[in-house]
A and B are shown apart, each in its own frame.
Chain A
Amino acid sequence: MSSTLHRRGQLTAIAELRWRMFVNGLRSKRGKMELVSRIIVTAAFALGGLGGFSAATGFAWYFVSQGKAEYLATLFWPIFFFWQVFPVMATAFTNNPDSSELLRFPLNYSSYFLIRMAYGFFDPASALGCLALFGILLGASFASPALFPCVLLVILTFALFNLVLMQTVFAWLERWLAQRRTREIMGVLFILVMLSFQLIGPMMERVQKKPRPELSRATQILAQVQAVLPPGLAADAIAQTTHSHLLVGFSSLLFLGTLTAAVGSLLNIRLRAQFRGENLSEAGARPAVAQPQGLQVGWNLSGFSQPVAAVFEKEVRYLARSGPMLLTLVMPIFMLVVFRLGPANPLRQSNYLSRTPDMAFPGAAAYALLVLTNLVFNSFGGDAAGVQFYYASPVHFRQIVLGKNLIHASVLAANTALSWLAVSYFYGTPHLAVTIATVAGLLFAAPLNFAAGNLLSIYSPKKRDFATFGRQNVSQTTVLASLGLQIVIVGIGVAVFIIARLYKNLWIAALLFLLLAAISIPIYVITLRRIDGIAIQRRETLLAELCRA
């Protein structure tokens, strides 16, 4: 009895804690803004949820009344995907400190398990998923009232499966994201998955071109596979009942229940490990035998001072150790591949480069500049507390900024060269005039980007972790300013190429870009000269933002 009361007290305390955190968060202006945006987001979610509910109700009613209840799988699958993928995309990449923080209190394991499940139940994805499932229940029951008990049982089991799976995914993600190495691997995998989404369109186009028999065989295999997976099992359990195959329907439900239990046991393993206080320290044991290493002399950058070379070397090492950043930087090449795989329909935008291959290289170079935005416009973000070192050291800030810009320029040059090779391979060697015009265009665009990026890096910095991915903090000012600048630069670039094309001479573009570069380079130099004063003026903002825990 007292144990039950004790547990109830703990659960109430946790609920109150979350409420107090929410209320206290409203004390600041930022918190109030958060509340307003949350209300807007919730309203949008509610609308989406009602849409999903209506669609699920209507389709469920239609499928069941037409005697095609197996088609309910087409409703269960989207619900399943939304329930599992949305929370991962939205919040998985920020650490949820609650679970580890709660463990220092005398909670018993069942309370801990219950709390984790409750967190999952109040997730927006769960709420919307449950709403859509309720729609299926209503639709199917209206179509065939006798089905109600069966559909209710199936839907409860399916909801439980989704809830448990979501928590299992979160629990394991937390485990993998807790350590730098596994976090980096996850980061690379995440970006690869995101990139693979880009390929879906072109691949679908190719599949559709294949002969019909092959396509229908693939569809059949797919249907068989989905039937033994949870959404398919849920649909099958209802469909078999409508066809009076009660035993087969029950076996599908039983299988779904077994899968839920299996996933639950995986969750149990993870939560037990957390509950016992697992050690995820990355400090590691000292090696029994010291690993001797020769003298590591820093890099020399002829023509540049020691601090500039040191900053350049440091930036190269940072980049080289950041899987997510490296992957982002190869995006221009990847996009060329996507465009190359694009559909053959001449009206489609993706075929534009096939029709005007001359524009492939300028396009790829512009994209190469664009992917640098993250680095250039928040160049101190990755330094975090290290930025104090810059202020404490006897170095002018312009030297530090120059070292950073050198690496930006090097990455841009490497990316442009690779893009040239890729364009040559996919679309044919770009004309010399196009190549020169593109390089001249970069000479105009890059200094402007660097000048603006240097200023914004100091005026609105945001701490970022090179090892993580997904939801990094972004300054809205930086986003808007960089977007505006890119629009202006791309606009000028397009105008220059249009003028050159009108005169049917791309050398005109090269000349115009060189003239523009003669303006943008001095702008960069002037900004760089003034950066020391600006950095001193803004040091408190920079240090406060980047050194916070």
Chain B
Amino acid sequence: MDLAPTISTQGLSRRFGELVAVDGVDLRVAPGQFFGFLGPNGAGKSTTIKMLTGLLAPSSGRIEILGIDLNAHPVEVKRQIGVVPEGMALFGRLTGAEFLSFAGRMYGLDRTTAAKRAAELLEFMQLADQPKKLVTDYSHGMQKKLALAAAVIHGPKVLFLDEPFEGVDAIAAGTLKSMLQGMIAKGATIFLTSHVLEIVERLCSHVAIIHQGRLVAQGSLEELRAGVEAQTPAGSNDDGVSGEKLTLEQLFLRIVGGERRTEQELSWLG
């Protein structure tokens, strides 16, 4: 059964003057998918996620979230999504509880519900022990956790995360991952960008790879693997390991053509 996609784009493009940052991207993310959006630096990941969340206007193309046209009904779409953008979008001079309560009310929760959920989220994220501390005084990892808490306070159906694990320690990353997996188990859809391919491989069921603004691969990990293996001699891969499954890192490097040349060495390095 082909479910209607939660996120779909058609011919999504974005130009900055002469530069085409995103070029005709057609994405399809099905409901309940944990979707990883990968690409090298400057490939267009953040630009795409900004367009998907209404932070940036596309130059052309169409975006539908949960079947709603983002351009025509931005407020309705935003009511059902949660976002952790690149700069985290925090208000530094509020305490964690104040910020979460504020976020909840901005997403339409009543004062009491917003306060209750804020307290629960702070507890869950292990941010509750310093209630008077201002967000600006939080460590980077704490700010990431708080940004994620703010993005989920209204129980969104779709969650967009731009580099959620960047600068987060292993313990905090564990907390975040368990929360995200819990959301997936309850039917939410998560769209994340990350440079940490091991995390994407472990968490995501489906992946898309963008390179120089164009979508160069999309599908489940198995589909991507099959596609790459079909282009290489049977029974072997370039790493000389026969019969073993390609890791996401290997897939990624092959697809974007970024494999290191082993003969290129820096002779003076210790």
Contacts and interface: CB of A to CB of B under 8 A. Distances in A.
A311 B91 CA distance: 11
Nearest to B82: A392
B108 interface: yes
Interface stretch (A64-72, A222-230, A413-421, A539-547): A539-547
B103 A389 contact: yes
A287 B101 CA distance: 23
B61 to A, nearest CB: 17
Interface in B17-52: none
B76 A295 contact: no
A291 B93 contact: no
Q: Name the interface size band of chain A.
A: 35 or more
Interface string B78-106: 11000101111111111001100111011
Nearest to B110: A306
B91 A386 contact: yes
Nearest to A322: B93
Interface residues of B, number: 53
Given A296-B97, A539-B56, A386 B92 contact: yes
A217 interface: no
B264 interface: no
B102 A313 contact: yes
Most buried by B among A283, A318, A388: A388
B254 interface: no
A383 B91 contact: yes
A396 B129 contact: no
Most buried by A among B54, B92, B110, B136: B92
A309 interface: yes
Interface stretch (B115-123, B198-206, B218-226, B239-247): B115-123
B107 interface: yes
B57 A284 contact: no
Interface in A388-403: 388-389, 391-396
Contacts of B85: 388, 392
Contacts of B101: 296-298, 310
B15 interface: no
Contacts of B76: 394
A65 B124 CA distance: 81
A385 interface: yes
Contacts of A32: none
B106 A393 contact: yes
B114 interface: yes
Contacts of A386: 89-92
B171 interface: no
A391 B142 CA distance: 23
Given A314-B94, A386-B92, A394-B108, A297 B55 contact: no
B116 A295 contact: yes
B138 A283 contact: yes
B105 A309 contact: yes
Contact of B97 (A293, A385, A392, A540): A293
A313 B142 CA distance: 23
A297 B111 contact: yes
B91 A314 contact: yes
B15 to A, nearest CB: 12
B256 interface: no
Contact of A392 (B89, B102, B133): B89
Contacts of B86: 547
B267 interface: no
5 contacts: A296-B101, A298-B114, A306-B111, A382-B93, A391-B54
Pairs A-B, 7 closest by C-beta atoms: A290-B129, A388-B89, A385-B87, A310-B105, A394-B78, A394-B79, A389-B89
Given A298-B115, A306-B105, A547-B86, 5 more contacts: A284-B130, A293-B128, A300-B111, A386-B89, A388-B85
